[in-house]
Amino acid sequence: MGILVVTFSDSRIAVSQVNTSLEKTVTHNGSALRGLIVTMRLKQWLKNGFIFLPLLFDVKLLNLLYLARTLAGFALLCLASSVVYIINDLADIEKDRRHPTKRYRPLASGQLAPGVALAGALVLTLITLPLSFVLNTTFGLIVAAYLVLQLAYSFFLKHMIILDVLTVSAGFVLRVAAGVALVDVVRFSPWLYVLTTLLALFLSFGKRRHELLLLKEEANSHRASLEEYNLPLLDEMMSVVTATTVVAYSLYTFSAENLPKNHTMMLTIPFVLYGIFRYLYLIHVRGEGGAPDEVVLRDRPMQITLLLWGLSVFLILYPDEIAALLSR
């Protein structure tokens, strides 16, 4: 009987050890998966919304075929951008550990192992690129170019003054070009490429300004290009870009050939003015601007402005479609 008791006790200990090991494995895997999802930056997928501009301005938003293709393109762009975010965090893991907020990112904090992150980036790439070419050859080439450009940014272009923000702007232009590739454009104006570039520069300068204020004397240790920037320079460049954006959008509203001849698109100018001024207020008074996507998701006046702008553009560009819907 004594031997049986000891054997039973040893069995319980062995089972307990197996259960504990399984729990640790499940917990570790769950933590790694959560860390990978956080590193994919789902909130920043909002930036890929620029792919919908050709669909909206080419008056094909209600075309189910083009809408479905653009939605598919948006999903693939989101995966491609997540690959870039993962690689960027892998490249900056040591610098992020010295950053007051980025040190809590999964890779910098140790929640996510570099090997797991690299494997995740590889899997996402193997999914995204083939599907992009299946959707549309030109779209696939644009996604590939986007990945190459952003990876170059992650490893060396982001450390070069002015070229860093120009590269970010090019990424936004490629997002718009990706949307153009998925829509047989007829009315989409080249002006919108110019406006996308200017808006991206405006947001990038605001982000650099926020980083300088946040990191102060430690700015150079996080990004080499920040040593070359200073607040007066950034404020002056933001002033130039702000004025240019307002003028370019105003010129677009009454000179683009594909817009209504009654110049009603000019009615949307106040929304653009308010949106820009509101963002400047958030940067200079509230000390925000480090993550434009988070500003949009958090600031209610900005959300209302974007909604009213989009609604006004829809009402101006889609009168026939609206009349057809109302007559049913």
Contact indicator for 226, 219 with CB cutoff of 8 Å: yes
Average pLDDT over residues 103-108: 86
Predicted local confidence at residue 216, as pLDDT? 65
pLDDT of residue 97: 82
Quick check: 4 pLDDT over 50? no
Average the pLDDT over each of 26-30, 73-77, 116-120, 161-165 and give the range with the smallest value.
26-30
Q: Which residues contact 177 (CB under 8 A, 6 or more apart)?
A: 142, 193
266-301, pLDDT tens digit by residue?
A: 999 999 999 999 999 998 888 877 677 778 878 899
Question: Residue 29 has what pLDDT?
Answer: 56
Cβ-contact 198, 248 below 8 angstroms: yes
Q: What HEC string does the chain produce?
A: CHHHHHHHHHHHHHHHHHHHHHHHHHHHHHHHHHHHHHHCCHHHHHHHHHHHHHHHHCCCCCCHHHHHHHHHHHHHHHHHHHHHHHHHHHHCHHHHCCCCCHHHCHHHHCCCCHHHHHHHHHHHHHHHHHHHHHHCHHHHHHHHHHHHHHHHHHHCHHHCCCHHHHHHHHHHHHHHHHHHHHCCCCCCCCHHHHHHHHHHHHHHHHHHHHHHHHHHHHHHHHCHHHHCCCHHHHHHHHHHHHHHHHHHHHHHHHHCCCCCCCCHHHHHHHHHHHHHHHHHHHHHCCCCCCCHHHHHHHCHHHHHHHHHHHHHHHHHHCHHHHHHHHHC
Question: Does 217 score more than 80 pLDDT?
Answer: no
pLDDT of residue 303: 93
Asked if 90 and 116 touch (Cβ cutoff 8 Å), the reply is: no
Q: Is the pLDDT score of 18 beyond 50?
A: no
Q: What is the pLDDT of residue 223?
A: 60
At residue 302 the predicted structure's pLDDT band, cuts being 50, 70 and 90, is very high
Q: Any residues with CB less than 8 A from the CB of 4 and at least 6 apart, and which?
A: none
Sign of CA dihedral 131, 137, 139, 140: positive
Q: Which amino acid is at 222?
A: H
At 224 the pLDDT is: 64
Task: Calculate mean pLDDT across residues 200-216.
Answer: 85
- Which of 235-244, 296-305, 316-325 has the highest mean predicted lDDT (pLDDT)? 235-244
Rg of the chain in Å (alpha carbons)? 24
Per the CB < 8 A criterion, the answer to whether 273 and 243 are in contact is no
Q: The whole model's pTM is what?
A: 0.84
**Please, how many CA atoms are within 13 Å of residue 172, restricted to the half-sphere of its CB?**
23
pLDDT one-digit tens code per residue, 76-101: 999 999 999 999 999 888 887 877 77
Q: What is the mean pLDDT of the chain?
A: 86
Task: Please tell me the least confidently modeled range out of 110-114, 138-142, 155-159, 226-230.
Answer: 226-230
Tell me the C-alpha distance between 246 and 33, whole Å: 43
- Output 282 or 13, whichever has higher pLDDT: 282
* 177, 142 contact by CB (below 8 A): yes
Whether residue 222 is predicted with pLDDT greater than 80 in this model: the reply is no
Contact of 40 with 117, CB cutoff 8 Å = no
In degrees, to the nearest 5, what angle opens at C-alpha 196 toward C-alphas 190 and 200? 160
